[in-house]
Structure 1
Amino acid sequence: MIKSELTSEEFDIYYKRYLDKLDTNTSLRNGFKEGQKNLVTFFKSIPKEKGTYRYQTDKWSIREILQHLIDTERIFMYRCFRIARKDTTPLAGFDQNIYITPSGANEKSLDDLLNEFIINRNNSIALLNSLTDTNLQFIGNSNGGEMSARAAAFTIIGHDIWHMDVIKERYL
């Protein structure tokens, strides 16, 4: 299953900015594995003293961004799972900003956050490997719009790239 197979009916236009970060030949399952390697390498290359840096006082720190990526992956894989299982119950959106403070991301070490990311990503990969391509094509309702299970999963990969680009541009 590759990104070019996605149709515009499978996701809300809001998610296009993340999906556009992916090459059209990005394979879903391999994209998760490659994305894991790339993200870990990227965050390990950031000087430790930059972990709590914010380029503006109202912006998240680098550690908070990593925590956000972990939390978002959890939510989007939950969406992917429910949709792939043909659950037609509308799935609520979430306010990403309220998740950061209780996460305590700035009190966690970068190594702890990366370990949390790796464990979570491995669980996501296991879930994707348990789903068939047919399961991943099912469409449900997420955050008030239609979304396929595979669009939810592909969004995670693009979302990671989006935030790594933001860090490169504004934090380093």
Structure 2
Amino acid sequence: MENMPAAYEYADYYASYVKLVPEGNMADILERQMKETVRKLSSLDENRSEYRYAPGKWSIKEVIGHITDTERIMSYRLLCIARGETISLPGYDENKYVEEAHFDSQTLKELLDHFACVRQSTIHLLKSLSDDALLRKGTANNTEVSARALLTIIAGHELHHRNIIQERYLQA
């Protein structure tokens, strides 16, 4: 996939994610991001990975878990829409998912391995899809979205949170 989605292919609240993603081959972008994120975060020790920059904020481990959960959900939406699903796909409560996952009880390595596994699955899915499948639209969380927009949202969501980790967690 080389072409970025048009603004009408996704809800306005995803625009901040989409604009973070550079032009180029999406499989290459996703692969490069995965390697950069794992490289950057794997050097943290366990104590640092449980750091919260303010009360009530997620730890670095929880952010990694959230990125992974969101990618898994968006990839499922991608699969459904690319295959022509016509029913509306549900939304999810990101805070509830993080709360129920107990990411801080897992090691940083386990969380990064999980993220890399989910990302590899997304890349394999992308490579299996035709251009027509990527242009298909469906409904997720009560909004219309194209399959290719979901890929860009996945990439932008990771970049968004990686930027937050850099600015609010690692600079502290």
TM range (shorter): over 0.9
Distance in 2 (CA, whole Å) between partners of 1:132 and 1:16 is: 24
Partner secondary structure for residue 51 of structure 2 = coil
1:57-80 superposed Cα distances (whole Å, 9 cap, x missing partner): 111000000000000000000000
Q: Which runs of 5+ in 1 are unaligned?
A: none
1:10-34 superposed Cα distances (whole Å, 9 cap, x missing partner): 10011001011112x2321111111
Question: Is 1:132 aligned to 2:130, yes or no?
Answer: yes
What amino acid sits opposite 2:87 in the alignment? T
Q: CA deviation at 1:123?
A: 1.2
Are 1:28 and 1:153, in contact at CA under 8 Å, matched by a contact in 2?
A: yes
Tell me the equivalent position of 1:2.
2
Equivalent residues in 2 for 1:21-170, closer than 5 Å: 21-23=20-22, 25-170=23-168
Are 1:3 and 1:22, in contact at CA under 8 Å, matched by a contact in 2?
A: no
Q: CA deviation at 1:2?
A: 2.3
Tell me the equivalent position of 2:13.
14
Q: CA deviation at 1:45?
A: 3.5
Distance in 2 (CA, whole Å) between partners of 1:45 and 1:17 is: 28
Number of residue pairs aligned between Structure 1 and Structure 2 = 170
Q: CA deviation at 1:46?
A: 3.1
Distance in 1 (CA, whole Å) between partners of 2:109 and 2:6 is: 38
Distance in 2 (CA, whole Å) between partners of 1:153 and 1:35 is: 13
What amino acid sits opposite 1:2 in the alignment? E
Are 1:53 and 1:171, in contact at CA under 8 Å, matched by a contact in 2?
A: yes
Report the TM-score when normalising by structure 2.
Answer: 0.94
The 10-residue stretch of structure 1 (33-42 or 57-66) with the greater mean CA deviation from structure 2: 33-42
1:139-161 superposed Cα distances (whole Å, 9 cap, x missing partner): 11111111001111111111111
1:83-134 superposed Cα distances (whole Å, 9 cap, x missing partner): 0011111111111000012211001001111111111111111111111121
Q: CA deviation at 1:3?
A: 4.5
RMSD between superposed Cα atoms in Å: 1.2
Are 1:32 and 1:125, in contact at CA under 8 Å, matched by a contact in 2?
A: yes
Distance in 2 (CA, whole Å) between partners of 1:40 and 1:133 is: 30
